[in-house]
């Protein structure tokens, strides 16, 4: 079957006049320029959108840092969020009164238009973030997870029900899948700030998780009281049932509590070393108490314990409920099966892999937890920020309500 060409094409083929060929060639080049220009322009528009996203993220993050570091931190975020095939862009930042403005330019290379002598399409993006100064004191995070390199340093397994709308969790790890959130959980936090770019979200739809976030470092490192453990005053005790009143001092070896005793702790400092407390059931009360681990010693709460423990409200150990000697090697710290758990104060365990297991309930009006890693299994918590977690806002350093204005 022979195809029949349109008459106008037949006439062009038959023409021997050069000007017709020239006109056709010019028309073809114009059509090529229009089609190619559309493709190159689409590519440039897509790239500009990505550059704008990077600039928006950079000014928002930069404004969350102290004034002296804002531009440097913003530039880091901008470069991190650039597409992999783009380099050589130097953003420029202009600080304002409680604001930060960023600008960047780039020449988007062309493909088709390059044949016509148009080598690039100029792009420019700008963004401004504005904040409101914080006056007085501002609450820090309720939970710090400090391991900077581990995977799944925060593990929230099936069952946790945590209501803490005024609290934040800050996860310092930058490793892949720094946190894991499994199905069947309820996490009502103001924000979950993860330094990594990825988490494992099996829960789907978890709210207020911010990746590549500026997770806070440990604010208590080097600032807590130094403790001289002294000589042992209580060694290898066994307490079985009944009612017992304990006094502050240094406890060595293992102290075992069996038979569900009623334990009253008098106010003061309880130093635990070379072992720990193994607690099996019972009711525990203590107002104005502080526990100090002089080494990798620990308290392990097991089987149906009811706790009501409060840190001192004044003195050397004000607001400190549990803390440990700095610089310890990592170890496990496990709390099991607490039927009620009222713990008010700072729990500072920067070397511990802390695990809260089944039925671990906590209702705290003021608590901050610092750990190396954290695992939550079937926990039910109601938390508010702990008072000593508040920090004084300094001029130009703390802003709230940070948002894009253009």
Tens digit of each residue's pLDDT (9 = 90 or more) over 43-67: 889 999 999 999 999 998 888 887 8
Q: How far apart are CA 128 and CA 70, in angstroms?
A: 13
> Do residue 210 and residue 263 come from a single domain?
yes
For residue 220, is it left (φ>0), alpha (ψ between -120 and 50) or beta?
alpha
Domain limits for position 237: 138-392
Whether pTM > 0.95 for this model: the answer is: no
Instruction: Return the closest-CA partner of residue 121 out of 110, 112, 111.
Output: 110
CA distance linking residue 269 with residue 312, whole number of Å: 10
Give 246-305 pLDDT, tens digit per residue. 999 999 999 999 998 999 999 999 999 999 999 988 999 999 999 999 999 999 888 778
Does some domain include residue 298?
A: yes
Task: Decide if 399 is inside a domain.
Answer: no
Verify that 145 and 87 share a domain, yes or no. Answer: no
The answer to whether 174 and 200 are in contact (CB under 8 A) is: no
Domain final residue pick, 111, 133, 155: 133
Q: Do 324 and 344 fall into the same domain?
A: yes
Say yes or no: 196 and 76 in one domain.
no
- Domains of the chain: total: 2
CA distance 377 to 160: 6
The residues near 230 (Cβ < 8 Å, ≥ 6 apart) are 250, 271
Residue where one domain finishes, among candidates 115, 133, 151:
133
- What would the two tokens of residue 319 be? 């607001």
Q: What is residue 63's three-state secondary structure?
A: coil
Pairing of strands 154-156, 361-376: parallel
Q: What is the pLDDT of residue 246?
A: 96
State the virtual CA torsion across 260, 261, 267, 269 in degrees, nearest 10.
-70
> 21-30, long-range: CB within 8 Å, 24+ apart, which pairs?
29/116
Are 242 and 174 part of one and the same domain? yes
195 and 342 together in one domain = yes
CA distance 149 to 196: 9
- The continuous run of DSSP H or E covering 334 comes out as strand 331-335
pLDDT bracket for residue 214 (50, 70, 90): confident
Domain check: are 13 and 80 in the same one? yes
Same domain, 148 and 244: yes
- CA 406 – CA 401 distance, rounded (Å): 15
Q: Do 61 and 198 lie in a common domain?
A: no
d(CA 321, CA 310): 7
Report the mean per-residue pLDDT for the chain. Answer: 84
- The reply to whether 223 and 257 lie within a common domain is yes
Same domain, 258 and 146: yes
* pLDDT above 70: residue 139: no
Both structure tokens of 113: 């238009």
> How far apart, in Å, are the Cα atoms of 129 and each of 64, 94, 100, 103, 132?
10, 11, 5, 12, 11
pLDDT category of residue 202 using cuts at 50, 70 and 90:
confident
- Over residues 117-146, the mean pLDDT reads 83
Residue 378: name the closest of 326, 339, 344, 404 by CA.
Answer: 339
Instruction: Please tell me the predicted confidence (pLDDT) of residue 236.
Output: 95
Radius of gyration of the chain, Cα coordinates, nearest whole angstrom:
31
Distance of CA 405 to the CA centre of its chain: 25
296 and 201 in a common domain: yes
Tally the residues of the chain: 406
Judged against a pLDDT cut of 80, whether residue 17 lies above it is answered with no
According to DSSP, residue 226 is labeled: P
């Amino acid at each position: 079957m022979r195809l029949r060409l349109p008459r106008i094409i037949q006439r062009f083929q038959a023409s021997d006049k050069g000007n017709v060929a020239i006109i056709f060639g010019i028309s073809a080049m114009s059509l090529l320029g229009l089609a190619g220009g559309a493709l190159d322009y689409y590519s440039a528009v897509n790239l500009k959108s990505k550059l704008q996203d990077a600039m928006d993220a950079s000014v928002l993050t930069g404004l969350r840092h102290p004034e002296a570091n804002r531009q440097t931190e913003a530039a880091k975020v901008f470069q991190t969020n650039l597409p992999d095939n783009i380099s050589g862009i130097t953003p420029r930042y202009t600080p304002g009164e409680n604001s930060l403005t960023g600008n960047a330019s780039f020449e988007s290379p062309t493909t088709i238009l390059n044949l016509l002598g148009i080598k690039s399409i100029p792009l420019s993006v700008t963004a401004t973030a504005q904040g409101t100064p914080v006056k007085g004191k501002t609450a820090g995070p309720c939970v710090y997870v400090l391991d900077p390199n581990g995977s799944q340093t925060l593990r929230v397994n099936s069952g946790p029900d945590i209501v803490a709308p005024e609290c934040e969790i800050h996860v310092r790890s930058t490793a892949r899948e720094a946190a894991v959130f499994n199905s069947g959980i309820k996490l009502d936090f103001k924000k979950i700030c993860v330094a990594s770019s990825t988490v494992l979200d099996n829960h789907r739809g978890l709210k207020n998780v911010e990746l590549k976030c500026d997770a806070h470092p440990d604010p208590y490192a080097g600032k807590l009281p130094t403790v001289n453990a002294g000589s042992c005053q209580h060694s290898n005790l066994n307490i079985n049932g009944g009612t017992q009143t304990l006094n502050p001092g240094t406890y060595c070896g293992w102290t075992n509590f069996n038979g569900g005793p009623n334990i009253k702790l008098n106010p003061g400092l309880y130093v635990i070393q070379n072992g720990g407390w193994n607690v099996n059931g019972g009711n525990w009360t203590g107002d104005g108490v502080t526990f100090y681990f002089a080494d990798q010693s620990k308290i392990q709460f097991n089987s149906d314990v009811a706790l009501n423990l409060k840190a001192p409200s004044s003195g050397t150990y004000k607001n400190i409920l549990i803390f440990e000697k700095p610089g310890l090697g990592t170890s496990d710290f496990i709390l099991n099966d607490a039927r009620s758990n009222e713990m008010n104060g700072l729990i500072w365990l920067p070397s511990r892999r802390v695990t809260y297991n089944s039925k671990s309930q906590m209702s705290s009006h003021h608590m901050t937890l610092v750990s190396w890693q954290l695992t939550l299994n079937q926990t039910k918590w109601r938390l508010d920020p702990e008072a000593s977690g508040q920090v004084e806002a300094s001029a130009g350093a703390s802003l709230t309500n940070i948002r894009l204005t253009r």
